[in-house]
């Protein structure tokens, strides 16, 4: 599984000639390629993404590049990652039906996936920056995280199948390596590609000088690297979610790997918190309080829905080798408290992962638009400092967060503070 010689980068101009003979494509968009309209819309850090619109319909064509798009060809990246991404989409479709794009075609040589196009959905991060609310968002996200976590684990899967899948996904090395370095390690030292907003030097030095904090972050990296509880999306942020005002879907699982159940919901929470902390730069005073309250409510409800769905699956789909009914229900004993304790462990992990993601998005290489679009760097630094300070608190004192209301109350405290 390495780079190949026939691979050729697609462009908007060549796409019709390259894909015009594929039934999987023409069946959906129409065979008359002269009527095709193609635009490249990739705004992520790694790949080419085309919207291909024809007389019959529209599809997405995603092609991996042999390097990191954000950095250039000085950072090569294997094309085989597209194989894992399309496999992850199949698994998510099985585990959380209807919540991720359907795959229509995969070409291994060309590292290319043709998949469902969501319309009129747009990237959630843009909506959060624009101050738009999305109905049903916590229901969808809570259900997605719970279903993929539960159904990809040995609470549900047959052990042989799950272990084989862990083996398959362990062939994907370079993509997890990005997360391992960029998320867990680089933020905590002066790594080459790091950058941060001017004005943050003092708080950054404080974070990097805190040995206990680094120890805790590395402990979470060890969990991610060694704890194969379930197949995680691996990069569940607001740029990996597409929404209308009432419907949301999850895209882009190219960072999928087997890891801890709290990983996705923790990363997701971090991205909501960064949207929250960045709001004073994006909203007028009149809208600010209400919109920030909506973001925190979204976090709380996402966890509530996650817990509700997880408990439902615990009761109805616990067919794997973990916590078997033979030990509890079959002996007339309730396992409700056991499920609560599993959920408490997931929350603990999620809180720590959340703090680490909050750090990496302002200290490491790949920042997010919530903060990056704030042109006034003085204001950006003040808001990012709140985010850094809360991230540190979450990493150092995750055990004090025993329910999600404690986390959102903490966010309100940090939102009122000055950490520069
Ligand atoms: C070099 S890639 C940087 C980031 O982009 C992806 O979206 C992931 O978040 C990754 O960490
Ligand atoms: Mg991505």
Calculate mean pLDDT across residues 56-60: 98
Instruction: Tell me what pLDDT residue 1 has.
Output: 45
- Strand, coil or helix: what is 114? strand
* Per-residue pLDDT band at 3 (split at 50, 70, 90): low
Is 397's C-beta closer than 6 angstroms to any atom of ligand 1? Answer: no
> Which tokens belong to 11?
């462009």
| pLDDT tens figures, 260-283 | 999 999 999 999 999 999 999 999
| pLDDT tens figures, 124-166 | 999 999 999 999 999 999 999 999 999 999 999 999 999 999 9
Q: Whose CA is nearest to atom 5 of ligand 1?
A: 45
* Per-residue pLDDT band at 44 (split at 50, 70, 90): confident
Distance CA 86, CA 115 (A): 9
- Strand, coil or helix: what is 403? coil
Atom number in ligand 1 closest to CA 240: 7
Is 193's C-beta closer than 6 angstroms to any atom of ligand 1? Answer: no
The conformational region for residue 399 under phi > 0 = left, psi -120 to 50 = alpha, else beta, is alpha
Expressed in angstroms and rounded, the spacing between residue 381 Cα and the centre of ligand 2 is: 25
* Per-residue pLDDT band at 43 (split at 50, 70, 90): confident
Neighbouring residues of the ion ligand 2, judged by CB less than 5 Å = 44, 252
Q: Whose CA is nearest to atom 8 of ligand 1?
A: 235
Expressed in angstroms and rounded, the spacing between residue 65 Cα and the centre of ligand 1 is: 14
Q: Whose CA is nearest to atom 11 of ligand 1?
A: 179
Atom number in ligand 1 closest to CA 255: 8
Contacts (Cβ under 8 Å, ≥6 apart) of 105: 22, 24, 25, 112, 113, 114
pLDDT at 2 over 60: no
Environment class of 262 (CB within 10 Å of its CB; exposed 0-12, middle 13-18, buried 19+) = buried
Q: How many residues does the chain have?
A: 420
Distance CA 412, CA 292 (A): 9
Atom number in ligand 1 closest to CA 179: 11
Average pLDDT along the chain: 97
pTM over 0.95: yes
Q: Whose CA is nearest to atom 6 of ligand 1?
A: 45
| pLDDT tens figures, 164-209 | 999 999 999 999 999 999 999 999 999 999 999 999 999 999 999 9
- Let me know: does 310 contact 146? Beta carbons within 8 Å: yes
Closest Cα partner for 380 from 288, 291, 281? Answer: 281
């Amino acid at each position: 599984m390495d780079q190949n010689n026939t691979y050729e980068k697609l462009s908007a101009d060549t796409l019709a000639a390259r894909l015009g003979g594929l039934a999987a494509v023409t069946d959906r968009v129409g065979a008359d390629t002269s009527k095709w309209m193609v635009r490249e819309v990739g705004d992520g850090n790694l790949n080419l993404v085309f919207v291909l619109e024809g007389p019959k319909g529209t599809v997405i064509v995603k092609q991996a590049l042999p390097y990191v798009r954000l950095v250039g060809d000085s950072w090569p990246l294997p094309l085989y990652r597209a194989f894992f991404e399309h496999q992850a989409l199949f698994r998510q479709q099985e585990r959380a039906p209807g919540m991720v794009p359907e795959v229509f075609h995969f070409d291994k040589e060309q590292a290319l996936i043709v998949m469902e196009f969501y319309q009129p959905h747009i990237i959630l991060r843009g909506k959060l920056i624009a101050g738009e609310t999305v109905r049903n968002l916590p229901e969808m996200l809570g259900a997605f995280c719970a279903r993929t976590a539960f159904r990809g684990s040995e609470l549900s899967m047959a052990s042989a199948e799950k272990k084989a899948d862990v083996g398959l996904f362990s062939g994907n090395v370079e993509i997890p390596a990005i997360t391992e370095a960029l998320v867990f390690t680089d933020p905590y030292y002066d790594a080459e590609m790091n950058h941060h907003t001017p004005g943050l030097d003092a708080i950054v030095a404080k974070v990097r000088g805190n040995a206990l904090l680094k120890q805790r972050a590395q402990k979470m990296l060890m969990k991610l690297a060694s704890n194969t509880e379930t197949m995680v999306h691996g990069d569940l942020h607001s740029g990996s979610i597409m929404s209308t005002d009432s419907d949301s879907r999850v895209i882009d699982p190219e960072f999928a790997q087997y890891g801890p159940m709290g990983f996705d919901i923790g990363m997701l929470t971090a991205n909501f918190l960064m949207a929250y902390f960045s709001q004073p730069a994006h909203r007028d005073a009149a809208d600010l309080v209400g919109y920030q309250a909506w973001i925190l409510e979204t976090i709380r409800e996402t966890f509530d829905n996650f817990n509700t769905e997880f408990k439902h699956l615990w009761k109805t789909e616990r067919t794997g080798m973990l916590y078997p009914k033979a030990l509890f229900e079959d002996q007339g004993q309730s396992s409700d408290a056991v499920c609560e304790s599993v959920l408490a462990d997931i929350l603990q992990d999620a809180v720590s992962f959340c703090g680490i993601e909050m750090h990496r998005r302002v200290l490491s290489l790949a920042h997010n638009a919530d903060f990056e679009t704030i042109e006034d760097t003085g204001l950006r630094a003040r808001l990012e400092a709140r985010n850094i300070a809360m991230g540190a608190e979450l990493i150092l004192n995750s055990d004090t967060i025993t329910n999600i209301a404690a986390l959102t109350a903490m966010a309100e405290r940090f939102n009122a503070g000055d950490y520069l």
